[in-house]
A and B are shown apart, each in its own frame.
Chain A
Amino acid sequence: MRFVKGFGRFWWDFIVGDDWRIAAGVVVVLAAGALLVANTSAPDGVVAAVVAVGIVAVAIGSIAASALRARGR
């Protein structure tokens, strides 16, 4: 059990890192992009632009949250 926990913890730290918001945000934005592709006939360029803007918003949110945390210390 300890091995499984340690193994899971290792991969969590490796992929998600110390800010889970980035992984969660990327998943949410890509899921929204997937819905757009699956349910509409939006041109590829529109999907690309919407997803890219969403990802940039995730990056800005994560950097802002980290900066606020760093200042609070």
Chain B
Amino acid sequence: MTGDALGVVAATTLASGVEFVEALTIVLAMGTTRGWRSTLIGVGAALATLAVITALAGYALKSWLPEALLQLVVGSLLLIFGLQWLRKAILRAAGLKALHDEEDTFREEVEAARAAGEERRLGLDWFAFVVSFKGVFLEGLEIVFIVITFGLNADSIALATVGAAIGGVIVLAAGLALHKPLARVPENTIKFVVGLLLSTFGTFWAVEGLGWFGPDDASLSWPGGDAALLVLLAAWCALAWATVRLLAPRARQEVA
């Protein structure tokens, strides 16, 4: 497996896993309080919608854009997305932003589910259907975005989809086995790793795509080719490590 392919599988598996943890919390809250039928129909509808979006967006982008422009567009989006993940992960690691707590989210969702009225549409408990649909769709949309961008740039949507499916299956299997939210998953650590990978590949592809503005529309080349990915990853890791070290002691002093 090449470095590109390994990065695709690692990034999509981790991103999908961490997003599925959040979706699973919402689905479990709805299923255990409002019943499983409408909840699971909502999950199925969301997954089907996401599959259609992946196929249509993937096909359209691949068919309509020249290679360098495609790299520029998806690289830029990936970079913006990755830097957002990385910024939040750094702030959480430094103690400047609250960690995501799945048990708190689960309690809030259960309270909302109990307080909601009974409304039936199309034979479904509409509240359970809508909340589980929205939960899976919104969390899943981030996965779709990552699958499409990584898949197109590495020329393997299939590999990216396999990576995302692995992450989803692992989380769902663990959730079904435990029958409670996966509160012990080190979400911030995983988001940190995903943020680093997205920023690395985003920088790499966005720069390659700048070649579209050149005289021959061909992608730019990084010195060292794919090996530049390792240098970029090391640079992002060093930046993240340095900023956390710089910010964390000050945050602790302020709390004390």
Q: Which residues of A contact B (CB under 8 A)?
A: 14-19, 22-23, 26-27, 30, 33-35, 37-38, 44-45, 47-48, 51-52, 55-56, 58-60, 62-63, 66-67, 70-71
Point out the residues of chain B lying under 8 angstroms from A63, CB to CB.
87, 90-91, 243, 247
- With both chains docked as a complex, state the minimum distance between the C-beta of A56 and any C-beta of chain B, in angstroms: 6
Q: For the A-B complex with A23-B80, A55-B79 known, give 13 more contacts whose Cβ atoms are closer than 8 Å.
A: A15-B77, A15-B81, A22-B80, A26-B76, A38-B213, A48-B220, A48-B223, A51-B210, A52-B203, A56-B239, A59-B83, A63-B247, A71-B96
Q: Tally inter-chain residue pairs, CB-CB below 8 A.
A: 97
Task: Give B149-184 interface residues, CB cut-off 8 Å to A.
Answer: none
- With both chains docked as a complex, state the minimum distance between the C-beta of B205 and any C-beta of chain A, in angstroms: 11
What CA separation (Å) do A37 and B247 show in the bound complex?
37
Looking at A18, A22, A33, A63, the one whose CB has the most chain B CB atoms below 10 A away is A63
The chain B residue with its CB closest to the CB of A17 is B84
Point out the residues of chain A lying under 8 angstroms from B214, CB to CB.
37-38
Query: Cβ of A19 and Cβ of B223 under 8 Å apart?
Result: no
- With both chains docked as a complex, state the minimum distance between the C-beta of B188 and any C-beta of chain A, in angstroms: 15
Q: Which one of A22, A38, A44 lies within 8 Å of B87 (CB-CB)?
A: A22
What CA separation (Å) do A26 and B76 show in the bound complex?
7
Chain B interface size, under 10 / 10 to 19 / 20 to 34 / 35 or more: 35 or more
What CA separation (Å) do A15 and B85 show in the bound complex?
11
Query: Cβ of A16 and Cβ of B223 under 8 Å apart?
Result: no
Query: Cβ of A59 and Cβ of B239 under 8 Å apart?
Result: yes
Q: Which one of A17, A33, A56, A70 lies within 8 Å of B91 (CB-CB)?
A: A70
What CA separation (Å) do A8 and B244 show in the bound complex?
34
Query: Cβ of A15 and Cβ of B210 under 8 Å apart?
Result: no
The 3 A-B pairs with the shortest beta carbon distances in the complex, nearest first, are A70-B96, A45-B223, A17-B84
